A and B are shown apart, each in its own frame.
Chain A
Amino acid sequence: MIAILIFGISVLTLVQFFVSYCHSLIAESRGYEFSEQGREISGVTGSTVRGDQFRRLLQLIALCPEPAATRVRFRAVSLYFGLLGLVRALFGWIEPTVGRWIESERGGCAYVAAVMLDRRIAYNRVLVAREMSSQL
């Protein structure tokens, strides 16, 4: 009985902590200034990115070499995006408000992906510039 109680409470706190952690990662990205090229590629309009852009951004990110440290944040946000998809599939049809909330959360995840893509583009530019200068 105690084990069931602990399990139930732990799952609830896990969801709350994990969602808050992902929110903190998303909020941390909000202050990022996009480059023109990054904005164009990612489809950023103002300070929003549509949630359905996430998969496309994932594919673009996979094409760019990256500094390893950024993977942690991205994995956590990708997992959160997947969980949101699951919640939408399970409960999205019940109430339209839930659907809107999920879409805004997915937009946040896509924003993190856009920031990551822009950072990787900048990183790759530096790498190319270094390569070219070493050849000269």
Chain B
Amino acid sequence: MLGVGRYSIMATSGFTSFSYYYFYFYSDALLTICLYFVLMNLYAHVFSEMASASWCGGARCCFSRAPLGSLTAWSRCPAIGWLRTSLSNFPESVFVGVVLTYLLWGAMTKLRENRTHLMQLVLSTGVYFSMFAGSYALDNMYPNTVVWRYIFHLMAMWLPVSWTYTFWKVPEDARMATARVLVPNR
């Protein structure tokens, strides 16, 4: 849906227009916030089976405050100011996603989580966040490089494609030893 929206704005206003930039970063910010909520749910799934109700409650509380707080702060900013702020802070906000996913994966390996579904969802989310954090950081270092505009669109396909594969092809009750993911071929 975002892709369709981006394309329609690009077709009407142009690739280098202010409207396109605004829509692109605004939609990406919302997407990142949604991904924070997804991460919150993944945390809840991981810890729920481990009977760690208190951990789960803590994680929920922590995660629900972070995205809602940022959403409120962003919505209060005037449009142009917000755009400037978000452009300069975007790598950091995506990087928070990298850190949170990494912590979740660390917890999963420590707790010997063996649900294939969860593993693949968390890992593909980690790949997505890492790709974007790295690319936004590079974009910040070399802002005039045009190639990133195209790479961002290609990278955006990763998450829907990998999640579709997981939900469609991997049975929900499939289990896999964590050790096989960490040290395969043994």
Chains A and B are bound partners: yes
A residues in contact (CB < 8 Å) with B: 2-4, 6-7, 9-11, 13-14, 16-18, 20-21, 23-28, 30, 69-70, 72-73, 76, 104-105, 107-108
Contact indicator B137/A6 (Cβ below 8 Å): yes
Interface SS of chain B: helix
The answer to the question of B66 belonging to the interface, with a C-beta cut-off of 8 Å to chain A, is no
What's the nearest-Cβ distance from chain B to residue A27, in Å?
Answer: 4
Contact indicator B165/A69 (Cβ below 8 Å): yes
Number of A-B contacts (CB under 8 A): 102
In the complex, A23 Cα to B165 Cα: how many Å? Answer: 15
The answer to the question of B176 belonging to the interface, with a C-beta cut-off of 8 Å to chain A, is yes
* Chain A: CB-nearest residue to B169: A69
In the complex, A20 Cα to B179 Cα: how many Å? Answer: 11
The answer to the question of B102 belonging to the interface, with a C-beta cut-off of 8 Å to chain A, is yes
CB contacts (< 8 Å) of A11 on chain B: these are 130, 134
**Known contacts A7-B134, A27-B180, A69-B169; A17/B105 CB under 8 A:** yes
Contact indicator B130/A20 (Cβ below 8 Å): no
Contact indicator B165/A7 (Cβ below 8 Å): no
CB contacts (< 8 Å) of A27 on chain B: these are 176-177, 180-181, 184
Contact indicator A6/B130 (Cβ below 8 Å): no
Contact indicator A14/B123 (Cβ below 8 Å): no
Contact indicator B182/A17 (Cβ below 8 Å): no
Contact indicator B105/A20 (Cβ below 8 Å): yes
Contact indicator A24/B164 (Cβ below 8 Å): no
In addition to A13-B98, A21-B162, A27-B176, 12 A-B residue pairs with Cβ atoms within 8 Å of each other are: A3-B141, A6-B134, A10-B98, A13-B101, A14-B131, A14-B134, A17-B124, A17-B130, A23-B181, A23-B182, A28-B116, A28-B174
User: Which of A14, A16, A108 is packed against the most chain B CB atoms within 10 Å?
Assistant: A14
In the complex, A23 Cα to B95 Cα: how many Å? Answer: 24
In the complex, A14 Cα to B155 Cα: how many Å? Answer: 13
Interface residues on B, range: 35 or more
B residues in contact (CB < 8 Å) with A: 91-92, 95, 98, 101-102, 105, 116, 119-120, 123-124, 126-127, 130-131, 133-134, 136-138, 140-141, 161-162, 164-165, 168-170, 174, 176-177, 180-182, 184-185
Contact indicator A4/B137 (Cβ below 8 Å): yes
Contact indicator B184/A23 (Cβ below 8 Å): yes
Contact indicator B137/A26 (Cβ below 8 Å): no
What's the nearest-Cβ distance from chain B to residue A66, in Å?
Answer: 13
CB contacts (< 8 Å) of B102 on chain A: these are 13
Contact indicator B141/A24 (Cβ below 8 Å): no
CB contacts (< 8 Å) of A69 on chain B: these are 164-165, 168-169
**Known contacts A20-B181, A23-B182, A28-B170; A13/B130 CB under 8 A:** yes
What's the nearest-Cβ distance from chain B to residue A113, in Å?
Answer: 15
In the complex, A20 Cα to B113 Cα: how many Å? Answer: 14
